[in-house]
Structure 1
Amino acid sequence: MTIKIFMMAALACATPATARAANQVSLSSAVFVEKDRADAQGRRSIVLEAPRMVTPGDKLVFMLSYRNTGNHPANDFIVTNPLPQAVSYQGTPDAGAFVSVDGGATWGTLGQLRVKERNGYVRGARPEDVTHVRWTLKQAIPAGSTGKLMFRGIVK
């Protein structure tokens, strides 16, 4: 089971985000496992490691890097990243991020979205319902500039 979950996470990074802009912006992505480590003196720190194998409860950090490879500023840049089904969304510190709980049909903050269950009951969306994360960059990306976006998840 752990290998299957890892493969799903790896697949999400292999076919990550899509970008929409009438500009030349390239995207790359990576996923890391967040680990709590102690040094020889017992000092604790959080480190990000390349995933070898993940198991339920592992904390993941998804990093999306972008670069404007064009000669002009990139305007109206939108990045959409699907979440693997085996990952429960845990948030992003990035401003301008919205989530979807229906495969990208509707967008909003987690508190704004609703999920209809099979029995017809409608409830507030929860982190495990998130299917996609989207960022809309309000400011132009200057030619040659780079940036990073990130979100966290936990393996279900």
Structure 2
Amino acid sequence: MALAASLTATQPAVAQPAMRLGTQTFVERVSTDINGRPRRTLASAERVGPGDTLIVIVHWRNDGAQPVRDFAVTRAVPPGILPDISDPHMQVSVDGGGHWGRLDQLWLPTPLGGVRRAVAEDVTHIRWRLPEAVQPGRAGRLSYRAVMR
């Protein structure tokens, strides 16, 4: 239950107080219809287990009176989930939001003083840069898939 609460909690926008962000998380269930084809449905993420596929939807809205420029929708990746980072517009961080890029551009220090290439399990945050100014009242959403570890 605590995991479900952390996945759906609203996190405030950091740099632009006019921007409101919210998150919804669902579990994707796959069943077979009468014709033998897979049927995908979304269910509440109240109970999730290892291997479950999650659909995370991030809603954003400019509640201010002025356009917001150069805004990045940023979300922490909750512990225990592995995000699908295949979206080419998504940037990731493996150090709590200190550095951003595509996963193949990021490195982490090793205990013996070296470095290693970051892997998907290292992702701590994800973000998308909104390509244009967000006018007052404008809203949108972004989504990604993740798998419970």
Q: TM-score range by the shorter chain?
A: 0.7 to 0.9
CA distance in 2: counterparts of 1:61 and 1:84, whole angstroms: 13
Unaligned runs of 5+ in 1: 1-5
Letter in structure 2 aligned against 1:81: R
CA distance in 1: counterparts of 2:122 and 2:12, whole angstroms: 18
Contact 1:81 1:132 in 2 (8 A): yes
Letter in structure 1 aligned against 2:103: L
CA distance in 2: counterparts of 1:9 and 1:46, whole angstroms: 20
- 1:67 and 2:64 matched: no
The aligned length equals 149
Contact 2:10 2:22 in 1 (8 A): no
Root-mean-square deviation (CA), in Å? Answer: 2.1
Identity %: 36
Q: Which moved more, 1:7-16 or 1:74-83?
A: 7-16
- 1:55 and 2:49 matched: yes
Task: Choose which of 142, 151, 154 in structure 1 pairs with 2:135.
Answer: 142
CA distance in 2: counterparts of 1:93 and 1:19, whole angstroms: 23
Contact 1:88 1:154 in 2 (8 A): yes
Letter in structure 2 aligned against 1:26: R
- 1:98 and 2:69 matched: no
| Cα deviation digits, residues 21-60 of structure 1 (max 9, x gap) | 3x62221111111221222332212222211311111111
Distance 1:9 1:133, change over 3 A: farther
**Deviant stretches of 4+, over 4 Å:** none
